Structures are given as structure tokens and as C-alpha cells.
A = this chain, B = another copy of it.
Amino acid sequence: MTTPPSIPQGTRDFGPDIVCKRNFIFQTIKRFFELYAFQPLETPALEHLDTLMGKYGDEGDKLIFKILNNGLDHPEKQQKAREEFEKILQGKNSSFITERALKYDLTIPLARYVAMNHQRITFPFKRFQIQPVWRADRPQKGRYREFWQCDADIVGSRSSLHEAELALLCHDVFTGLGLKNYSLRVNHRKILAGLCETMGCSEKLTQITTAIDKLEKAGWEKVSAELQKAGLLPQQTDTVRQFISITGTTEEVIKQLQDLMPHSYEAAAGIEDIKSFFSWLKNITIPVVLDPSLARGLDYYTGIIFEIKAPPEVKMGSLGGGGRYDNLTGLFGVTGISGVGISFGIDRIFDVMEELSLFPDSLNETAKLIFFNLGITETEVTFSLARELRNKGNSVDIYPDKVKLDKQFRYAEKKNIQWAVIIGEEEIKTHTAKLKNLKTGVQQTLTFTELLNFSF
């Protein structure tokens, strides 16, 4: 191969600096997941294509990466493969050509896992999952073809305690990451359904929800145009406008919703859930706002929905979200299991933390200290000292060759190592080491014992 190598569009190599920063995010989130008694689950990258198809809408289906079956060049398979390939060319599926696909999100695999294992699982099942997913989307800034999702869900319980716990978890995570000034918007699908019920167009719930979902990105003009396209009368569109303009304290918003939809059974049920959600949080100060204009596009939500808003000082929309869904496992033949979950948008959180310089400096340190190499005899000594220092929990590098010290200093600097240990012929005779702080330039002489007990 003579052309320089590259990686597929929309994928990324994560070099050491980036991995350390991403791990800082993952580990912070994981720590809180565990404190809230969530358990880890990992599902394969590969799923049966059947498992995924038809779960993400027509647009979603087209974005699923499919795996070509191996062995189609076998003489006995060629003719059938040729015929079956015509199905692919017609936009259909053929399990003869491709029976597997890369997972598209973590929610359908969870539903599939629960449906497969529901007789063994103790419910409520609180699981978290941090794994890559793949989408054949057009890559653009902040949108990748291989990206990570980070989800926590509680499956098999309808208690609104879980929604409150997820809100609190979210607060702990963002506080833990140092991302103050985030906010959590909350709404309820039944309140949106109540709006449709009140307007006498319950059958248009999905269209109305999808339209409202575009408010923040595209503005009211666009929403209003979409509502008109969906066949709403000017009076109805005006009701939607009134609805999404409601603001205030939780009590004030609830009062206005009740005034707007006094006879809606759906709205009343949604408001009841919302009240119960807020009552769990009444003694705790976290930035949760009841916002009727929050819609969230995904069709499977049926109860409370969340969205995490980035701090206002950065231009970035949602950092995550979630909500309650009923009957997700029903897609796989197991009915009556309710769930509620939250998902953190790792890539966006990463970008916001970079922008606000929130990553600790220590993350890009390769090692605490490095032994410079002054020759074979010297390095035989440093090799043993390095071993003892590692046994005490210090990360230690040893320069592998006897080259000019200049070069070794440069290496240490580039690798962001704070301490250099220099042991030459003289030092070996006296059992001492020169220890230099590469950040301050200060150098001191220590005995081997002092070196082994030094606090790096």
C-alpha cells in the first residue's frame, strides 16, 4: 500500500490524551451509576438485523450498518446470492446476504436482553451501559458514525421514585464533572397528549410532538408551519402556542396547564405524575424546570421526559435526556414491562468540558517519574529501583537507551513526566540518586532508601 493510511469517515482514533479525558467522564458517570445501585450490562456490537429493523422508523432503518455474510463466493451459494442481492437493490432485506448488523443504540439491545432473560432477572432491573453504537449518518461537526452512548435505565417498575432518582443522579454527575449551570427540563407525554385531547386531535399526537420538538432549534415559525401542514386550524395552532409559552415555578406551570386543559383526563394523569416527581425532590435543591415546550422526538416515550441543557455560556443544545416508556419489550413479545431511563451525550459533554477547561491537568501525565539511562550497569540498578517504586503504586518509566541527556529530557517533557531520576557511575558508588523536578527545575540528591520513600 503506497497511499497513506486513513480511517473511515465519521470514525475516530482516540490517542492517549483524549482517552484519558474520555475515561475521566466515563469513570465519573460510572461511579454515580454504581452509587445509585445500577448494574453494568454489555451487549454485543453485532445484533441480528431482524432485531434492529423497524425499530427506528424508515429513516433509522436506512442508517443501520449491515454486515455482509461471509462465504458468498462459495460455488453453491453464488447463484442464490445473485438473486437475493436484487432484494438489497430494491431496498429490502435478505438474510442470505446480510443477517447481522451493528447496533444502532443501547435501548433496543436492552429491550432484547430483557425479553431474552426476563425469567432470570430480578425486577426492578437497574442497568447502565456505556458502549459504542453505529449509524450511517452523514458525518458533520459533532456527529459521528461510531459514537458512544451512556445510558441508565430502570426496567420493571412504575414508581415515580425512579424519575426522581434519575434527576438526582443527573445532578450528581454534572456536579461531579464540574459542569455547573446545566439545567434539567422535565415534561410529561400525557400532558402533550392532553393538549391534543383538548384540541380534539388526539390522532395527531406524533405530528404535534415532532413539531414542538423543533422549537428550540428552528423557532416558532417553523413549528407553526409544521402544525399547519399537519392540518391544525389557526385556533388550534394558537392553543399550541399558548401551551408552549407557559413558564414559571412548578406550581405556576401546573396551574396554567390545568387552566388550559381543565377537562383532559390525559393531562390530569400527567400532572399527577409530575406532582409526585417533584414531591420526592421537595427537600433538595437541584435545577429542574417543568417546561411544557419539551417534547423529545422519540416515539416510544409514554410518561415523564427529561432533557439536560448545557450551561448557557456554551453554545450547545442538549447534553442528554430520557424518559419513561411503557412496553418496550413488547416489541420482542414480552409485554407489561415499564421502564425509565436517562442517556448522557458523551461527545457533547466532552466538547463542553474542553471549552470550559474542566479536565484536571493531571490526566495527561504518562508517568510520575522516569529513570534516565546512563548505561547498562546503571540501568540494571534503576531497573530494580523502578520495580520497587512501581510496587509502591508509582507509575515509572525507564528510558530504554543510553542517548544524550538532552534527548531524554525532551522525551520526559513531551510525555509530561514531572520527576526525572539520574543515576550514573558516581551515584551507584554512593548509593544515591539525583532527583529533578522537571516542572520547577529544582534538583536534589537522595539516598536510594530516601528515593524509595519519596512522595511523588
CB within 8 Å of B: which residues of A?
1-2, 4-8, 11-16, 19-20, 23, 34-37, 39-48, 50-51, 62-63, 65-68, 70-73, 78, 81-82, 85, 88-91, 97-100, 102, 112-113, 115-117, 122, 124, 126-127, 132, 134, 136, 145-146, 154, 157, 159, 161-162, 164-165, 168, 172, 279-280, 282-284, 331-333, 366-367, 370, 379-380, 383-384, 387, 390, 393-398, 400-401, 411, 414-415
Contact = CB atoms under 8 A, between A and B. Distances in A.
B70 A63 contact: yes
A131 to B, nearest CB: 10
B366 A39 contact: yes
Contacts of A14: 40-43
A3 to B, nearest CB: 8
B401 A44 contact: no
For A146, A161, A164, A384, which residue has the most chain B Cβ atoms within 10 angstroms? Answer: A161
A136 B401 CA distance: 42
What does DSSP make chain A's interface, helix, strand, loop or mixed? mixed
Given A48-B7, A88-B68, A115-B4, A395 B136 contact: no
Contacts of A2: 333
Contacts of A157: 400-401
Contacts of A165: 398
A248 to B, nearest CB: 24
- Which of A5, A37, A97, A154: most chain B Cβ within 10 A? A5
Given A124-B400, A284-B384, A384-B283, A146 B331 contact: no
Given A65-B67, A68-B68, A1 B47 contact: no
